[in-house]
Structure 1
Amino acid sequence: MNDRPTVRRVVSLVPSLTEAVAATAPGLLVGATDWCTHPAGLGVQRIRGTKNPDLPAIIALAPDLVIANEEENREPDLAALRDAGLTVLVTEVRDLDQALAELHRVLVDACGLPRPAWLDAAETAWRTLPPPVRRRRAVIPVWRRPWMVLGRDTFAADLLARLGVDNAYAHHPDRYPRIPVDELNATRPDLVVLPDEPYLFTPADGPEAFPGIPAALVSGRHLTWYGPSLVEAPAVLAAALG
């Protein structure tokens, strides 16, 4: 006998999870953040940002489930939703394996949906990657004012490592350390990887901030989102990294 609660109304506080639910059962979504840009034209109520959600609006939507992430959302907000009687599922994503497992937990275990074909395709796309023909050491900024880079235990760095690009700050004690640009240059990386989100890096940022170091501008969605974009991410990122 299946005593799992029926989930018919979902509010997502995470862009990756919004896209994942929308690709699997779009009728479940009733609310999403202003940052949930995929899929385009998502017709649900917007509840502000990941860090400043409109709590009364979420409560008024009466969702059966609120899906969140321990990094992207603030615990006091999630606690307030729980105190209002809502069920909140909090994901943790530090690498690809964890992302795939959490997507299954959200979609299949929590929402009661059949495992989507795109999730199997994403797993296959990454599991069947050929070994990298070379390894490069890279600095991966995620913000410029001040300069912040990927540190330890990040999903994006794990994707890059699978493509042969090793994070120069993988062993830093912070996950997103603030490092002056002179110090970043002093590490003499083989490559600088510049995603177009959360900070919108442009081609000019590479030669301006990292003179003489090759720079690769990559899709932030394919590097940092865990959802349907994972299916095409290996090919998209590999092409951008060169």
Structure 2
Amino acid sequence: MRVVSLVPSLTEAVAATAPGLLVGVTDWCTHPPGLDAARVGGTKNPDVPAVLRLRPDLVIANEEENREPDLAALRAAGVEVLVTEVRTLDQAFSELERVLVAGCSLAPPRWLDEARRAWAAVEPLPELRAVVPVWRRPWMVLGRDTFAGDLLARLGVVNVYAGHAERYPRIPLQELTASGAQAVVLPDEPYRFTADDGPEAFPGLPAALVDGRYLTWYGPSLTRAPAELSAALAAAHRAAGRAG
């Protein structure tokens, strides 16, 4: 079978399960390192003719990360396109199984069972009210109905903007700092927040710097995500407690 993945998370999932299937991936597909597959452009601007030249049996995509006109062009050329929707952890597990088992005709991988067990064993921290920026210039945060928001909620984080009408609202910084949050959670993707770029905008608030792959990717990283995210959040929680 010949598979092209237009989603970094799904690229890692397929590569960890049956790497020989992948013949094309996006420029943003960074895991696993050294993946031997043709690059076909970005998630938002894939090179459709390049994808077609690879003669894929299946293209896997995501309704949030990829654009419908590109997917429609692939379908019009006779390519089967499997489009996922992942806005909760439970959806991630079911969609990963759909991609790997129904789409790629593989057996359910061991890492998927390990990820389910890891999240079933999660003991959330006491509630921590937080804002979760994903971009700056302009500032954008997690709003309602997001995969990352669902993961954080399972770990005890109360997202201040979880009830916002938009999924990724633009919020002025002065509003963020006056939101009543106890902490700020700063992932390193899609915007690369670091210790020197992000926390200084929120004076007085503890900052949890988290690996964006553990927060936003659905794939083998889900096995380690609970422990990695919990450790970062626990430090912010302790600091918030001292501040309170």
TM-score (norm 1): 0.95
Determine what percentage of the aligned residue pairs are the same residue: 73
Is 1:170 equivalent to 2:162 in the alignment?
A: yes
Q: Any gaps of 5 or more consecutive residues in structure 2?
A: 235-244
Residue 192 of structure 2 aligns to a residue in which SS?
coil
Structure 1 residue runs without a partner (length 5+) = 1-7
Q: Quick one: which amino acid aligns to residue 171 of structure 2?
A: I
Partner of 2:240: none
- By how many angstroms is 1:207 displaced? 3.7
Which stretches of structure 1, 4 residues or more, deviate above 4 A after TM superposition? Answer: none
Q: Offset of 1:54 from its aligned partner?
A: 0.4
Q: 1:99 aligns with which of 75, 78, 92?
A: 92
Alpha-carbon RMSD across the aligned residues, in angstroms, is 0.7
Q: Among residues 37, 40, 63, which one is paired with 2:33 in the alignment?
A: 40
Map 1:178-197 onto structure 2 (within 5 A). 178-197=170-189
Given the alignment of the two structures, is residue 198 of structure 1 paired with residue 190 of structure 2, yes or no?
A: yes
> Structure 1 residue 142: deviation in Å?
0.4
Distance 1:26 1:43 in 2: 9
Inter-partner Cα distance in structure 2 for 1:93 and 1:207: 29
Distance 2:78 2:72 in 1: 10
Tell me the residue number matched to 1:56. 49
Q: How does 1:1-242 map to 2 (within 5 A)?
A: 8-130=1-123, 132-242=124-234
d(CA) in 2 for partners of 1:207 and 1:25? Answer: 40
- Aligned mates of 2:199, 2:136 — CA distance in 1: 14
Distance 1:91 1:98 in 2: 9
TM-score calculated relative to the size of structure 2: 0.95
Aligned length: 234
CA distance in 2, matches of 1:207, 1:196: 12
Q: SS where residue 158 of structure 1 aligns?
A: helix
Are the aligned partners of 1:66 and 1:89 in contact in 2 as well (CA < 8 Å)?
Answer: yes
Query: Could you tell me whether the CA contact under 8 Å between 2:134 and 2:189 is conserved in 1?
Result: yes
The answer to whether the 8 Å contact 2:143/2:165 transfers is: yes
Taking the aligned partners of 2:112 and 2:87, their CA distance within structure 1 comes to 18
- Assess if the C-alpha contact under 8 Å between 1:206 and 1:214 holds in 2: no
Q: Measure the CA separation in 2 of the matches of 1:49 and 1:165.
A: 32
- For residue 206 of structure 1, report the CA deviation from its aligned partner: 4.0
In 2, Cα distance between equivalents of 1:137 and 1:73: 31
Q: Distance in 2 between matches of 1:207 and 1:85?
A: 48
| 1:5 aligned residue | none
